[in-house]
Amino acid sequence: MDPLLRERLDAFIDLRGLRRTQQRDSIATEVFSKDEHFTAEELFERVRKSTSGISRATVYRTLSLLVEADLLREIDLGEQETTYDPNFHDKPSHNHLVCKDCGKVIEFEDSGIDTLNDCVARRLGFRPLQHSLKIEASCEQLRTKGICPNLIQSRLSGKRLRKRR
Amino acid sequence: MDPLLRERLDAFIDLRGLRRTQQRDSIATEVFSKDEHFTAEELFERVRKSTSGISRATVYRTLSLLVEADLLREIDLGEQETTYDPNFHDKPSHNHLVCKDCGKVIEFEDSGIDTLNDCVARRLGFRPLQHSLKIEASCEQLRTKGICPNLIQSRLSGKRLRKRR
DNA sequence: CTGATTGCAAATGCTTTGCACGCCA
DNA sequence: TGGCGTGCAAAGCATTTGCAATCAG
């Protein structure tokens, strides 16, 4: 876990008069061990493998904690389960593009978007704090060549495609 | 209900071989009778007042139908209940700004944002289909003058503020 | 010590579903 | 008439919570 993240977490814990526990430590470590998005249940499975005896409830409670500390962010990918994104520390204002062909999620940063959001918000009389932008798109290669590299990739990696409501 | 909307709904019903029922009619009429966002439960209450004997299940089923027909859109305002936005027919690519001081939601359109999203998506090798942008912000007037016109307005109208997770 | 934290299981709350009846086409 | 649509209540599911035991500071 990035020392800067650890520091921020420690600061938050001190600020709120909370306590450092083995469970919180294991969970936080697992959360930031990959840059992949995950659900509470997925994280619970990961945590359970590395450390035994951590309950689902504690995973949920710790996730809320990390979100409140602004170290972790809930994002909306259109699923019913809440999805968490651990990459906002590295890329504080990144956006998401979701391919509707394969469900693949691509993160990207764009200073133009940041600037525009800032302007729009101010014009409306507000001070922007943060934004979330999701672009849904179809794969251009799949459309023109009939081949979607992401589709193949997602099949190979066995990822589930997005659920429909 | 806007005749254009009615037409689109009828077309969808025909296309899918569905049936026109009194319940679907009442619910669709209620959905598009205001431009306000709403939850399934809120709509159920509204429908129940205008027409008797419509069940919650039918409200849920009809909402899914309208979403599939792309006449209605689910939006993420950070609540746990799904929020529906009936205004995408009039403003196909509008965005949302949410004031964290009063919870007020402002809809706005911006062609600059549309263009930028389009460019970004194409640069990444995709064909953009739709986007959702939410800007969270604080009220500039509240910050500088200590008065938030929206806050007062929302108090007067008795609107509930946003729930915290 | 003392209050924060945890695990467990029960409870919650939104949404979906199975089934029998009713109604559109 | 043939199914699609509906109402009702039960079920599903993700998430939260009450409580007693445990642990950090």
**Do B6 and B78 fall into the same domain?**
yes
**Considering only CA atoms, which of A33, A113, A21, A59 is closest in space to residue B135?**
A113
pLDDT at site B47: 97
What pLDDT score was predicted for residue B115? 97
Which of B100, B129, B136 is opposite residue A137, by nearest beta carbon? B129
CA-nearest residue to B133 within chain A is A133
The sign of the torsion formed by the CA atoms of A31, A36, A37, A43 equals negative
**Which residue among B23, B52, B87 closes a domain?**
B87
pLDDT of residue A158: 40
Q: Are residues A78 and A126 in the same domain?
A: no
Is the domain of B73 the same as that of B1? yes
Q: How far is A26 from chain B (nearest CA, A)?
A: 23
Residues A80 and A105 in one domain: no
In terms of domains, do A143 and A104 share one? yes
| Cα gap B161→A75, rounded to integer Å | 21
CATH number at residue A53: 1.10.10.10
Check: CB of residue A36 under 8 Å from CB of residue A48.
no
pLDDT tens-digit series, residues B17-57:
999 999 999 999 999 999 999 999 999 999 999 998 999 99
Below-70 pLDDT ranges, chain B = 150-165
B75 with B36: CB under 8 angstroms? Answer: no
Q: Which of these, A20, A54, A153, lies nearest to A99 by C-alpha position?
A: A153
User: Where are the extended beta strands (E) located within A15-125?
Assistant: 38-39, 73-75, 83-85, 95-99, 105-108
Domain endpoint, select from B69, B87, B105: B87
Please tell me the distance from the alpha carbon of residue B45 to that of residue B52, in angstroms, as a whole number: 10
How many domains, chain A?
A: 2
pTM of the predicted model as reported, rounded to 2 decimal places: 0.90
Across chain B, mean pLDDT equals 90
Q: Which of A32, A54, A87 is the last residue of a domain?
A: A87
Per-10-residue mean pLDDT of chain A, 165 residues long, equals 95 96 98 97 96 95 98 94 97 95 92 97 95 94 77 49 33
Co-location of B79 and B105 in the same domain: no
CATH number, domain of A116, equals 3.30.1490.190
Q: Is A136 on the interface with B (CB under 8 A)?
A: yes
B78 and B101 share one domain:
no
A26 touches strand C (CB under 7 A): no
Report the SS3 class of residue A134: strand
Give the residue numbers spanning the domain of A115: 91-165
| Burial tier of A133 (Cβ tally within 10 Å: 0-12, 13-18, 19+) | buried
